[in-house]
A and B are shown apart, each in its own frame.
Chain A
């Protein structure tokens, strides 16, 4: 396999059809609220809207009120934390509008009022990898990082903020953007959030408010479809990697019955934190629901009846172990001895327990010279893993531990054979799924075992 920086082909530069007009002063803008509102605001919210708390909050409040009115929010809700996606440039194109938006609020003096974490960066700035980036991409990334820093974001840079510095309590309202993180906050922590688009999450971080609708309201959190997991699934012995497959399988099943708030019965109460993360993340990847009632685990779903708020399920379905095995075979798309170019761990980001297990499996081994082993996690977990010696074990075996987005790893070269222990992004074909120990064997031998 060629060196990674040789295989990355740069896309054509952006062909700008018309020149942009540039940032304008907001006075005189026709979308700024002046007249009557349909929404009920508190005195403080009105003061923000009048500009008494500065221009950045004023504009952010305008976005929340106008966008909130469109989706029938009757008021705003106070939120105690925000999580924003994207925190990485989304393309190699030189100018991106969303970075202008962050720049705009930062220049207006905007500062985050509540705990605010960010999704991963597009590449590890120390290595400038895993996906080799052009100088213009790196320049955009460092500009964006600086802007978020200036506004007061917490530097965890990951899709699993709920394991460290952004951990809302049961019943707390938050505004989280990353869909899988929002689903975890609703499902496992019992916090309340919609899957907030970039603009709303940013405005929420600046004002501490979000439109009060959707998942913030009791009636929208009622379960609709009941999924029973049969005992033959043998979840007691399932690994974190197995849970990614279960998540993908359930996600596919739930989207087929158009479930908005599924209720899942049969997940063991002693499920590990990393398995829980993998289950929720992979379900969300396919189903897209913001909340899954996992009976016995979700704080507001101690029983099936509680999850349905004492109403009858719209539909009842069963998870079938045979169907799941069929999906496993589909996703295990490589045959024995197929060459494996890259083995990827950490989409969603790896938990410390997963890094520990990987280090144990790799200890005393050497990654094949024609294969790369990449592991992605967030800043604080990587630091802990380094302190505990796991990073050294993995890197001295020839692997790399990145603070970057694992998902980007899959997208950068469609020609390569990529193997992962996460069913989340595996599609079959050139991106295959296998259990963690099989992935490690493939990395060591350079071929599918």
Chain B
């Protein structure tokens, strides 16, 4: 079954790939995401040891930090980042960081949040999904 969920478009670009879902809040600093391997290393993180590189990361929201966006940007620059975010509620730092990723490295990083259906219930890890940041759509294949 293929469904299309409408959400709020935050940053531009369309990508497709496998979903990796965290029911827990996600933060690049708190979960000590290793910029070389693209793996969260903190033992309290639900995704500890899982590679987030190349995945569409689906998580509720983050934590307010001063350097979380900079760390995501580092991962984007070095090619170890996820390819998009789908959130219940996205934080300002990640929006700013996605814009900078395009300006500095020519890489688009679409973010869509506030979906009509809760993405944490509808999307499962391993689902193949399309994130359209230009239209604000998430398609689950």
Contact across chains for A63 and B78 when beta carbons are under 8 A apart: no
Asked whether A288 and B64 contact (CB < 8 A) given A14-B78, A67-B95, A98-B74, the answer is yes
> Quick one: which of A18, A21, A63, A195 contacts B106, CB cutoff 8 A?
A21
Shortest distance from the beta carbon of A16 to any chain B beta carbon, whole Å:
5
Contact across chains for A86 and B105 when beta carbons are under 8 A apart: no
Note all chain A residues with C-beta closer than 8 A to B77: 20, 95, 97, 100
Asked whether A86 and B70 contact (CB < 8 A) given A14-B78, A26-B103, A30-B134, the answer is yes
Shortest distance from the beta carbon of A181 to any chain B beta carbon, whole Å:
10
Note all chain A residues with C-beta closer than 8 A to B66: 85-86, 177-179, 195-198, 201
Q: Which of A17, A177, A196 has the most CB of B within 10 A?
A: A17
Q: Which of A3-26 contact B (CB under 8 A)?
A: 12, 14-18, 20-24, 26
Q: Is A70 an interface residue (CB 8 A)?
A: yes
Contact across chains for A97 and B76 when beta carbons are under 8 A apart: yes
Asked whether A100 and B104 contact (CB < 8 A) given A71-B91, A200-B96, the answer is yes
Contact across chains for A29 and B80 when beta carbons are under 8 A apart: no
Note all chain A residues with C-beta closer than 8 A to B92: 67-68, 70-71, 197, 200, 211
Note all chain A residues with C-beta closer than 8 A to B76: 97
Contact across chains for B11 and A31 when beta carbons are under 8 A apart: yes
Note all chain B residues with C-beta closer than 8 A to A199: 69-70, 93, 96-97, 100
Contact across chains for A30 and B13 when beta carbons are under 8 A apart: yes
Per the bound structure, the CA–CA distance linking A200 and B63 in Å amounts to 15
Contact across chains for B105 and A21 when beta carbons are under 8 A apart: yes
Q: How large is the interface on A (under 10, 10 to 19, 20 to 34, 35 or more residues)?
A: 35 or more
Contact across chains for A59 and B12 when beta carbons are under 8 A apart: no
Per the bound structure, the CA–CA distance linking A198 and B96 in Å amounts to 10
Per the bound structure, the CA–CA distance linking A188 and B92 in Å amounts to 26
Q: Which of B78, B80, B90, B107 has the most CB of A within 10 A?
A: B78
Contact across chains for A198 and B35 when beta carbons are under 8 A apart: no
Note all chain B residues with C-beta closer than 8 A to A91: 35
Asked whether A197 and B98 contact (CB < 8 A) given A66-B10, A66-B11, A93-B35, the answer is no
Q: Is B73 an interface residue (CB 8 A)?
A: yes
Q: Which of A83-139 contact B (CB under 8 A)?
A: 85-86, 90-91, 93, 95-98, 100-101, 104
User: Which chain A residue shows the least CB distance to B107?
Assistant: A21
Per the bound structure, the CA–CA distance linking A197 and B36 in Å amounts to 23
Per the bound structure, the CA–CA distance linking A98 and B78 in Å amounts to 13
Per the bound structure, the CA–CA distance linking A93 and B71 in Å amounts to 12
Asked whether A30 and B100 contact (CB < 8 A) given A200-B93, A288-B64, the answer is no
User: Which chain B residue shows the least CB distance to A12?
Assistant: B36
Per the bound structure, the CA–CA distance linking A177 and B79 in Å amounts to 27
Per the bound structure, the CA–CA distance linking A85 and B70 in Å amounts to 10
Note all chain A residues with C-beta closer than 8 A to B93: 67, 197-200
Per the bound structure, the CA–CA distance linking A67 and B64 in Å amounts to 13
Q: Is B67 an interface residue (CB 8 A)?
A: yes
Q: Is A203 an interface residue (CB 8 A)?
A: yes
Q: Which of B95-118 contact A (CB under 8 A)?
A: 95-100, 102-108, 113
Asked whether A70 and B95 contact (CB < 8 A) given A59-B103, A179-B66, the answer is yes
Note all chain A residues with C-beta closer than 8 A to B70: 86, 90, 96-98, 101, 198-199
Asked whether A86 and B12 contact (CB < 8 A) given A17-B80, A97-B74, A104-B104, the answer is no
Per the bound structure, the CA–CA distance linking A219 and B99 in Å amounts to 30
> Quick one: which of B10, B95, B108 contacts A30, CB cutoff 8 A?
B108
User: Which chain A residue shows the least CB distance to B8?
Assistant: A70
User: Which chain B residue shows the least CB distance to A21?
Assistant: B106
Shortest distance from the beta carbon of A35 to any chain B beta carbon, whole Å:
12
Per the bound structure, the CA–CA distance linking A177 and B96 in Å amounts to 15
Shortest distance from the beta carbon of A92 to any chain B beta carbon, whole Å:
11
Q: Is A303 an interface residue (CB 8 A)?
A: no
Per the bound structure, the CA–CA distance linking A199 and B113 in Å amounts to 20
Shortest distance from the beta carbon of A73 to any chain B beta carbon, whole Å:
9
Per the bound structure, the CA–CA distance linking A70 and B102 in Å amounts to 18
Asked whether A20 and B78 contact (CB < 8 A) given A101-B73, A198-B93, the answer is yes
Per the bound structure, the CA–CA distance linking A14 and B65 in Å amounts to 24
User: Which chain B residue shows the least CB distance to A68?
Assistant: B92
Shortest distance from the beta carbon of B49 to any chain A beta carbon, whole Å:
18
User: Which chain B residue shows the least CB distance to A23?
Assistant: B104
Q: Is B7 an interface residue (CB 8 A)?
A: no
Per the bound structure, the CA–CA distance linking A14 and B63 in Å amounts to 27
Note all chain B residues with C-beta closer than 8 A to A12: 36
Contact across chains for B67 and A198 when beta carbons are under 8 A apart: yes
Contact across chains for B104 and A66 when beta carbons are under 8 A apart: no
Q: Could you jot down 7 A-B contacts, CB within 8 Å?
A: A20-B78, A22-B106, A31-B98, A66-B11, A85-B67, A97-B73, A97-B100
Residues of A within 8 A of B (CB): 12, 14-18, 20-24, 26, 29-31, 59, 62-63, 66-68, 70-71, 85-86, 90-91, 93, 95-98, 100-101, 104, 177-179, 194-201, 203, 211, 288
Listed from nearest, the 6 A-B pairs whose CB atoms lie closest are: A18-B79, A197-B93, A199-B96, A30-B12, A97-B73, A98-B70
Q: A90-B71, A95-B78 are in contact. List 15 more A-B contacts (CB 8 A).
A: A20-B79, A24-B105, A29-B102, A30-B13, A66-B99, A86-B67, A90-B67, A91-B35, A93-B36, A179-B64, A197-B64, A197-B69, A198-B66, A199-B70, A200-B92
